[in-house]
Every structure is written in C-alpha cells, then in structure tokens.
C-alpha cells in the first residue's frame, strides 16, 4: 500500500489536473489533509483503519476539544469534505471501503453577505487616491474594477493586459476573468472604472514595469505582480481613511456589486453569469439581502405595517 503522503500527493494532483480546481482551493485541501494525517499519526493510525467514530473525534478536536485551536464551522465543514473526498479517491486506488462515505459535514448557518452602501463605496474609492502619490491611481483602478466587475481578488490580480479589450462602436471596455475551475467569463466595465483603469495604464503602469517583461495589469512598486495580500491592504487602507466602521475586504466589493445590481432590478441569471457562479442557488443568497431591505422599507413607510 502506498503511504498516506503519497496518496495525498496523487489526490491533490488529481484535483488540479483532472478536476481543474484552483491553486487556492487545492492549497486549502492540502492544509486540511496535513492536519488530519498528523492527527492519525498521533494515534498511530493508518489511513485504511479510520472509523466514523475517529472522524467524529477529529471534528471535536477541530472545535477546540483537548486544547487545540478552534476553527470556524465553515473551515471544519470544508475539512470534512476534503477528507471524505480524499478517502473516496484513496479507497478506489487501494481497494478498501470508504469508512466515511456517509459522514456529513457540519451544517453552516446561512449568513447574509454584508454589502457596503453606494455612498460607502463612493467614499472608499475617493479615499483610495492620495494627494501627491501617483501610485495611488493604481489603488483607485483596483477598487473601481473590484466593484465594477464583482471579480474575486484572485481574479483581478491575475488579470493581464490581453484580458482587457474594447468592443462595439462605443468602445465599451470589457475584461476577461478566469474563475474557479478555469471557467472564463467576459464582464463589461462601466465608465468610471474605465476612466480609472485608463489613467493607471497610461500614467502609472509604464513606470512600474521598468525593465521587466510582464503582462500583469496590477503591479507592485518593484514591477512584479501585485499580491492578493497587497490588494487586501489597499482596500483596508482606503476603508480606514474613509472612516467606514465595518470590516471591508475585496470580497465586500463583490457582495456590494451583486446586491446593488439586484436592488437596481437586474435579472438574477445575469448576476449569476457576471459573478461566475456555476449555480444560481449560490447567487440567490443576495436576493435575501434585497428582500430584507424591502421588508425594512415597508415597515418604516407603510402606515399599517406596525
């Protein structure tokens, strides 16, 4: 029988090559499986000797039993799915029964995504630019594009110059985003974001490229591709200067993009396509936000609502 580490390596390769999962997803699975294998090793257990009871004890430890660090329920749920799917793969490779085939991950309570108000988004963008700091035009372009497209931060930092094009007689700017599983989508870009990206490409990016040959759109001060961590810092800094109390991340702009489109009457199928969701069920959580706002408006405005 192959070792546990060999099986995990083959499984992760299977996810990347055959399933087309993103680097971020496979990295998360790798961490989950490493934690799990360390747990088995601490009890001198082999991969094929796992029982449902042992799996329950592992989940209990993830929740904090025995002094271990506590993980969020969403992280525990992902870990259970990663381990269960790994065992499905390993059992077929090694010919043993999957002992946790029916083991269910914890149910995650449905949380409404927190969207910024339109005023907060405008303030965020305004505070991304810093007087006398030319590179802040890059920060404005990044935040404008996050909000204009609803793109994930990983998709935006991976953007290349060949992903940007203009279509039609009116030269409407569009960008090509590569989402989860390598799925591509084309997203139109509004006038404000277009002006910001044009300013950045003309006035700032050429100076950042320096001697490097790179087609990445968003660059750091050394001319390399801007990291996801740097993008988070840019958004957080603008939010702090804008005085926005709630925790603001690049994903907050994705939530705001979807919520504001639905508030404005956009079809949910269109929003699904723009977000790159494979199922409309994922997009439907945003409809709960708009219904909640309708309820609040009704309660405050209707004379017989209370």
| CATH classification of the domain holding 189 | 1.10.443.10
pLDDT per residue, tens digit, the chain (306 aa), is 678 889 999 999 999 888 888 888 899 999 999 999 999 999 888 888 888 899 999 998 888 765 555 688 888 999 999 999 999 999 888 888 888 988 988 877 666 668 899 999 999 999 999 888 899 999 999 999 999 999 999 999 999 999 998 765 567 889 999 988 778 999 999 999 999 999 999 999 999 997 778 999 999 999 999 999 999 999 999 999 999 988 999 999 999 999 999 988 889 999 999 999 988 888 888 887 777 766 776 677 766 666
Residue where a domain terminates, one of 59, 94, 129: 94
Identify whether 63 is a catalytic site residue.
no
- List the CATH number of the domain containing 16: 1.10.150.130
Contact between 218 and 140 under an 8 Å Cβ cutoff? The reply is no
Residues 57 and 152 in one domain: no
Residues 129 and 88 in one domain: no
Residues 123 and 90 in one domain: no
The residue from 35, 84, 138, 254 that is catalytic is 254
The residue from 35, 84, 152, 205 that is catalytic is 152
- Cα gap 181→175, rounded to integer Å: 18
Decide if 108 is inside a domain. no
- Cα gap 55→99, rounded to integer Å: 9
| Residue-level length of the chain | 306
Residues 244 and 169 in one domain: yes
Q: What pLDDT score was predicted for residue 70?
A: 66
Domain encompassing residue 52: 4-94
Residues 130 and 47 in one domain: no
Q: What pLDDT score was predicted for residue 185?
A: 92
Residue where a domain terminates, one of 248, 263, 290: 248
Decide if 287 is inside a domain. no
Decide if 278 is inside a domain. no
The residue from 31, 114, 176, 251 that is catalytic is 251
Q: What pLDDT score was predicted for residue 68?
A: 54
Identify whether 180 is a catalytic site residue.
yes
The two tokens of residue 187 are 């997203």
**Closest Cα to residue 148, out of 247, 221, 256?**
256
Q: What pLDDT score was predicted for residue 168?
A: 57
Residues 44 and 161 in one domain: no
Identify whether 210 is a catalytic site residue.
no
Indicate whether this model's pTM tops 0.75.
no
Q: DSSP character for 72?
A: P
The residue from 130, 176, 180, 228 that is catalytic is 180
Contact between 175 and 163 under an 8 Å Cβ cutoff? The reply is yes
- Cα gap 1→48, rounded to integer Å: 10
Q: What pLDDT score was predicted for residue 153?
A: 95
3-state secondary structure at position 216: strand
Decide if 88 is inside a domain. yes
- Cα gap 69→269, rounded to integer Å: 40
Residues 123 and 244 in one domain: yes
Decide if 271 is inside a domain. no
Crossing angle of the two packed helices 285-301 and 250-263, in degrees rounded to 10 = 60
* Bridge partners (DSSP) listed for residue 24: none
Q: What angle (nearest 5°) sits at the alpha carbon of residue 145, between those of residues 143 and 148?
A: 110
Count of domains forming the chain: 2
Identify whether 254 is a catalytic site residue.
yes
Residues 84 and 124 in one domain: no
Q: What pLDDT score was predicted for residue 112?
A: 65
Residues 237 and 183 in one domain: yes
Contact between 248 and 149 under an 8 Å Cβ cutoff? The reply is no
- Cα gap 183→178, rounded to integer Å: 6
Residues 90 and 132 in one domain: no
**Closest Cα to residue 24, out of 181, 149, 142?**
181
Decide if 288 is inside a domain. no
Q: What pLDDT score was predicted for residue 62?
A: 87
Residue where a domain terminates, one of 219, 248, 277: 248
Residues 48 and 126 in one domain: no
* Bridge partners (DSSP) listed for residue 164: 175
Residues 83 and 171 in one domain: no
Decide if 267 is inside a domain. no
């Amino acid at each position: 029988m192959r070792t546990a580490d060999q099986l995990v390596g083959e499984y992760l390769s299977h996810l990347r090559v055959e399933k087309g999962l993103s680097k971020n997803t496979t990295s998360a699975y790798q961490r989950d499986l490493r934690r799990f294998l360390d747990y088995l090793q601490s009890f001198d257990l082999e991969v094929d000797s796992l029982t449902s009871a042992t799996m329950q004890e592992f989940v209990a430890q993830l929740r904090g039993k025995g002094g271990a660090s506590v993980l969020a329920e969403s992280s525990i749920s992902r870990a259970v799915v990663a381990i269960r799917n790994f065992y499905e793969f390993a059992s077929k490779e090694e010919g043993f029964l999957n002992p946790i085939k029916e083991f269910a991950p914890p149910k995650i309570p449905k949380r409404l995504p927190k969207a910024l108000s339109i005023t907060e988004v405008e303030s965020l963008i305004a505070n991304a630019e810093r007087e006398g700091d030319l590179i802040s035009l890059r920060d404005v372009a990044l935040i404008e594009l996050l909000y204009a497209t609803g793109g994930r931060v990983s998709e935006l930092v991976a953007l290349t110059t060949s992903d940007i094009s203009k279509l039609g007689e009116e030269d409407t700017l569009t960008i090509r985003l590569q989402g989860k599983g390598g799925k591509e989508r084309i997203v139109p870009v509004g006038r404000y974001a277009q002006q910001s990206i044009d300013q950045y490409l003309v006035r700032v990016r050429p100076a950042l490229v320096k001697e490097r040959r790179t087609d990445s759109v968003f660059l750091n001060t050394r001319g390399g591709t801007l990291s996801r961590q740097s993008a988070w810092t840019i958004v957080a800094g603008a939010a702090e200067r804008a005085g926005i109390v709630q925790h603001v991340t690049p994903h907050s702009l994705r939530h705001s993009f979807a919520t504001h489109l639905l508030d404005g009457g956009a079809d949910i199928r269109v929003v699904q396509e723009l977000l790159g969701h494979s199922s409309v069920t994922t997009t439907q959580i945003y409809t709960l936000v708009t219904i909640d706002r309708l309820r609040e408006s009704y309660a405050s405005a209707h004379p017989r609502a209370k």
